[in-house]
Amino acid sequence: MSAANPPASQKSPLVPPPDATDPVRHPEAPAPGEPLGAHYDMCFGCGGGQPHGLHLAARAGEGVSVTAEFTVRTAHQGAPGLAHGGVLTSALDETLGSLSWLMHVIAVTGRLETDFLQPVPVDTLLHLEARATAVHGRKIYATATGRIGGPDGPVAVRADAVFIEVKVEHFIENGRQEEIRAAMDDPDQVRRARAFEVNP
């Protein structure tokens, strides 16, 4: 069996174990309603430097939750006039990943499962909300929804995920060196990454 398809017993379950704890909002987390900004300018999800990226704008919510908005553009379509499922999954993933801002940790997606409930047309403003539900060791459990027509509109997509807390070295050791050097030359980028390695 290939490493890309591990047996079910080796996959990270999306349901937290009974001894998981509640997620904790860091005391220095952005206040509810405050924009979170991009974690990296070239990020496909939130960066302003990607011309066809999602340009997802996330804000801190109450507790350990975030809200975000994403407008489906022509470059994001799969079937004619409809959002590509992978792009919608990316929007959910980016929103879920933004929860790390509130917990002051660095985390990467370990597992993400998406349900597509209805088509999302091009030019739709998708309202996204994500919340952390539990923590177990380095694992952060979270859930997200994407709604059409407003924060109370019908759910078009939803996802459950497990994120894994890592250190900044994860990116230094695994990323392409040109981009790593550029990021390391940006003092603000390094300061923000290092600040999240100190947990409350």
Q: According to the model, what pLDDT value does residue 59 have?
A: 95
pLDDT digits (tens, 9 = 90+) for 56-93: 889 999 999 999 999 999 999 999 999 999 999 999 99
Q: According to the model, what pLDDT value does residue 114 have?
A: 97
Q: Which residues, including other chains, have CB under 8 Å from residue 164's CB and lie 6 or more apart? A: 107, 108, 109, 110, 138, 139, 140
Q: According to the model, what pLDDT value does residue 198 have?
A: 40
The position carrying tokens 């860091």 is 26
Question: For residues 107 and 192, what is the distance between their CA atoms, to the nearest angstrom?
Answer: 14
Q: Yes or no: is domain 18-195 CATH 3.10.129.10?
A: yes
Question: For residues 104 and 71, what is the distance between their CA atoms, to the nearest angstrom?
Answer: 27
pLDDT averaged over 10-residue windows placed end to end, the chain, 200 residues: 52 86 95 86 72 87 96 93 95 94 92 97 96 96 96 96 81 58 56 44
Question: For residues 64 and 130, what is the distance between their CA atoms, to the nearest angstrom?
Answer: 9
Edge to edge, what strands does the sheet with 125-136 contain?
A: 57-60, 65-71, 125-136, 139-148, 155-166, 106-116
**Domains of the chain: which residue ranges?**
18-195
Q: According to the model, what pLDDT value does residue 173 have?
A: 56
Question: For residues 141 and 103, what is the distance between their CA atoms, to the nearest angstrom?
Answer: 12
Quote the pTM value.
0.81
Q: According to the model, what pLDDT value does residue 55 have?
A: 81
